Amino acid sequence: MLGQPHPFARFVRLLGRGKTLSRALTIEEAEQAMAMILAGETLPEQLGAFLMLLRIKEETGEEIAGFIRAARAALPPSDAPRVDLDWPAYAGKKRQLPWFLLAALLMAQAGWRVAMHGLDGVTEGRLYVGETLARLGVPPATDVAEAAEHLGRRNFAYLSLERLSPELARMMALKPILGLRSPVNSVVRGLDPFSASTSLQAVFHPSYVAVHRDAALLLGDNRTIVFRGDGGENERRPNKACDTVLVSSGVVQELRWPPMGDPRQTPDELMRVEQLAEVWRGASDEYGEAAVVGTVAIVLYAMGIAGDPVEAEARARRLWSDRDRGRFAAA
């Protein structure tokens, strides 16, 4: 006699009933499904099938919003001080150094609190945030409480997803097993674990801009900016036009940023982390400096500090010029 269907089976069935009967999950269904996953109430076979059916179908803004709701509800509580910037960093860099780290540290040194979270080693051959910060002498937080302490003391904290949500980290680690990214890659970008005033959500594929935009609208987040970042990280490519979508209190603003010039962008064969510290201290790197300034400009616009690209870039250049070259703000 066949047993009763597993409670999670209905979510797999909704996604996998064929071209005419399958449909996307509602925001409520997505929230329920992710809550069950994070609570350990699914079987491995179900989780793999669920994630890959979503990947084939391609996730919707409603689904991502529901997943994020459940993920946020499962995060450990925090007594962190007010956070200005939520900075997810999950993609890793392959062709260029992670110049966005200098942008984040510059914002911290200028007085804004920056909460960064990410996960190392998801894809082989990429340089990730945790290992890079460690080599620059910026220690990660070991848990949410220490991240709150770092934010209060030095305006910057980096917390690995493994420390923030082990369940989501394990799901991210399924990529080499399943062979494809899953919707979890989008979910972690929207975690905002410290309820920051502004969230950055760069994507690698332009088609995901609308997904993140719709999710931010459904979640009612304060200020979220979405754009195609270099390698999928929150880093502007200064020699390319950049289209940003800002969601602010339910209002969507689209803006095209023209190229900042034509600094040469050739693949960095060495990916020498020490170069980041050298440029911070004053060494010349035309592309790297442009990437830092361009990224800070987008951040200032996202925060509502600058109203257009010209003003944003001018303010960003001043911040870069006035930095304390003798130390990293978070070191």
Going along the chain from its start, the domains and CATH numbers come out as 21-73 (1.20.970.10), 85-321 (3.40.1030.10)
Each residue's pLDDT tens digit, 158-170: 999 999 999 999 9
Average pLDDT for residues 63-75, to the nearest whole number?
98
The span from the CA of 261 to the CA of 25, in Å, is: 44
pTM: 0.95
Strands (E), the chain: 85-89, 114-118, 156-160, 198-203, 223-228, 242-248, 251-257
Dmax (CA) for the chain in angstroms is 74
- Backbone phi and psi for residue 23, each to the nearest 5 degrees, phi listed first: -155, 165
The H or E element containing residue 274 is: helix 274-281
Whether pLDDT at 152 is above 80: yes
Average pLDDT for residues 131-137, to the nearest whole number?
95
What pLDDT, on a 0 to 100 scale, did the predictor assign at position 329? 61
Average pLDDT for residues 122-130, to the nearest whole number?
92
Name the token pair of 237: 């490519």
Whether pLDDT at 330 is above 70: no
The span from the CA of 136 to the CA of 328, in Å, is: 9
Confirm if 212 and 186 have CB atoms less than 8 A apart.
yes
What pLDDT, on a 0 to 100 scale, did the predictor assign at position 1? 41
